[in-house]
Amino acid sequence: MAMFRRLLGDVLRERRLERGMTLRQVSAEARVSLGYISEIERGQKEASSELLASLCSALDTPLSEVLRNVSEAVAVEEAATAPTPITVRRPVVASASAA
- The answer, yes or no, to whether residue 3 has pLDDT greater than 60, is yes
Is 1 a residue whose pLDDT tops 60? no
Asked if the model's pLDDT at residue 90 lies above 60, the reply is: yes
Reply yes or no on whether the pLDDT at 65 is more than 80: yes
pLDDT of residue 86: 78
For the chain, list the domains and their CATH numbers. 4-81 (1.10.260.40)
Provide the percentage of residues in the chain whose pLDDT is more than 90.
74
pLDDT value, residue 85: 76
Q: Classify the phi-psi angles of 20: left when phi > 0, otherwise alpha if psi is within -120 to 50, otherwise beta.
A: left
pTM above 0.85, yes or no: no
Which amino acid is it at 15? R
